[in-house]
Amino acid sequence: MIWPHQKRGFSLPVAARFSLLSAFICVHLWILSPPCQAQTFKDREVVVNLTEGRIVICATKDAILLAATDTHGEPGSRPPEITILSPVRMAVMLGATEWVFPESNDKPIELDAEFTKLVGAALNNGGQKADEFQATDLESIGIAMLERVRLVAGQLHHKVNLREDEPLIRVVLAGYVRDYGPEAWVLDYRIAQDELRNGIWRTRVLRPSYNQIYPPEQGKPKTLMEVRYPPEDRATGEPELLDLLQQNDSRLANIRAADQVEAKSVGLVTQGQSQKSDAAGLATFLKAALPAVSAPDTKVTMARVDYDGGFHWILQPRGAPAAPAPPPPAPGEASKSQAPADGSDRPTLLHKGGY
């Protein structure tokens, strides 16, 4: 194999979708020479492996469920992993998660593995208990991750071609917020590049965008939510699980009808009333349904956050950490077995758009 630094004319295909993935990228590291204050550069190869997959989320009357599947994407792509952030919150990181420098002795940078520590450091600054999250914490999480991603992606000095809707990294968060209810967010980290000279580019990671996907806007259906990486146009890409259910897809019909509890839960979800469905019945359905509509050997992991009992594994991957102890109830707090009826009091963030 010819390494990129041996081919001075190496460039990424203009039409290619984020060709970083499992491909060697020529990275130019600027070195300032103190004696003459002249700028020179040397080449350094980078292998960036993407985490690709689809995430399915649903908030029921007693828990919020999250399932992650891989998509058998490009060679070297990684399956998505569910990360436990606290007893009441879970996350999945997609996109450019693993950065490898083949010619150095440095260990690969695994941003998804670092995520838990970054979140913990960000939320401990105010002395907040680990099981408590507020709306403003989302911005703390987003900025903590931004600083790390900027440090890593700043080493990219070659042109990177991403679609307009394709972030460098996408983070999916789901969980339960005390005195508010279940919630789910998508944080997207996009890049901007400026050409400095002779094909050398400066890469800037923009502030993340924050998109709350649950609860939906008032009056919108409460149902299955699906997040993918790479992003797909729902009108032209593979149908989402909800689309297949609404079309009464034959692969799902028998699974859906296998049990009365399952059938009722799935029916409520399809009708946009997931907040009335039963988590156990829906989880049983998803365990069978996702493999049925995916490629052979697709890896499926699944977890839930109960409104009373916190995080639990449903399909636990090998080597994954055990579920943490459930959060203690607040003084005088009643049971949370039912989610709030609506999400009209949605938390707000100081910065909603990336810039």
Q: What is the pLDDT of residues 223-278, one digit of tens each?
A: 999 999 999 877 778 899 999 999 999 999 999 988 898 999 999 999 999 999 99
CATH number of domain containing 178: 3.60.20.10
CA angle 266/285/294 to nearest 5° reads 110
The closest of 173, 162, 183, 167 to 55, measured between CA atoms, is 173
> Over the stretch 58-81, which tens digit does the pLDDT of each residue have?
999 999 999 999 987 677 789 999
Q: Residue holding tokens 């940078």?
A: 109
Task: Report if residue 117 sits inside a domain.
Answer: yes
Q: pLDDT-derived band of residue 329, with 50, 70 and 90 as boundaries?
A: confident
Task: Report if residue 269 sits inside a domain.
Answer: yes
* Domain enclosing residue 124, as ranges: 15-315
Q: How far is CA 71 from CA 169, 238, 257, 315, in A?
A: 17, 11, 27, 17
3-state secondary structure 51-113: ECEEEEEEECCCEEEEEEEECCCCCCCECCCEEEEECCEEEEEEEEEEEECCCCCCCCEEHHH
Task: Report if residue 355 sits inside a domain.
Answer: no
The confidence score (pLDDT) of residue 102 equals 82
Task: Report if residue 204 sits inside a domain.
Answer: yes
Alpha-carbon span 141 to 96, nearest angstrom: 18
Q: How many domains does the chain have?
A: 1
Task: Report if residue 65 sits inside a domain.
Answer: yes
Task: Report if residue 310 sits inside a domain.
Answer: yes
- H or E stretch covering 314: strand 310-315
> Over the stretch 135-158, which tens digit does the pLDDT of each residue have?
568 888 999 999 999 999 988 888
Residue 237: count other Cβ atoms within 10 Å of its Cβ. 11
Length of the chain: 355
The confidence score (pLDDT) of residue 268 equals 97
Task: Report if residue 238 sits inside a domain.
Answer: yes
Task: Report if residue 75 sits inside a domain.
Answer: yes
Concatenated DSSP letters for 160-179?
Answer: ----TT--SEEEEEEEEETT
